[in-house]
Amino acid sequence: MGLLQVAVNPMSRLFDLLAKDGYLPILRTPSVIELMVQGGTYVIISDDTDQGYYQLSYPSFWIESDEHKLADIYDACNDANLNAKLAKCYEMNRTAHCSVQVINSTPDEFHSNFARHVSAIQYATSCFVKKIRASAT
């Protein structure tokens, strides 16, 4: 007699792994997890049409109300992207976001690199902020 195998949503598995680590993840949709990491709200997105694709985002980490400073945001994103290996900063609607996009064979593999992904985002955003503050002086 064969074993009954139940298909597990990869994001449900990732949710469980993050919860075991002490995070308080929220499953927003079957393909979106939101969680707090060191005071910041991060979002993990998977793509149902691209198995193994994961994006860890730190959305809206910098919001600029002055449209005249838009060039500074672009400059800071470029500087961060030159210095960071894995994470990339980008601008959308005068708001800076940072993300890591990876292909992992399993949710466990993504989870095993989660701290590294967070660290890459933190490094990129610190480069961004340093450049923005330097341009203000």
pLDDT, tens only, 40-90: 999 999 998 998 999 999 999 999 988 889 999 999 999 999 999 899 999
* Contact residues for 124 (Cβ-Cβ < 8 A; gap 6+): 80, 81, 83, 84, 87, 88, 89, 98
At the topology level, CATH places domain 47-135 in Alpha-Beta Plaits (3.30.70)
Give the chain's mean pLDDT: 93
Statement: residue 1 has pLDDT above 70: no
pTM given for the model? 0.90
pLDDT bin (cut points 50, 70, 90) of residue 137 is: confident
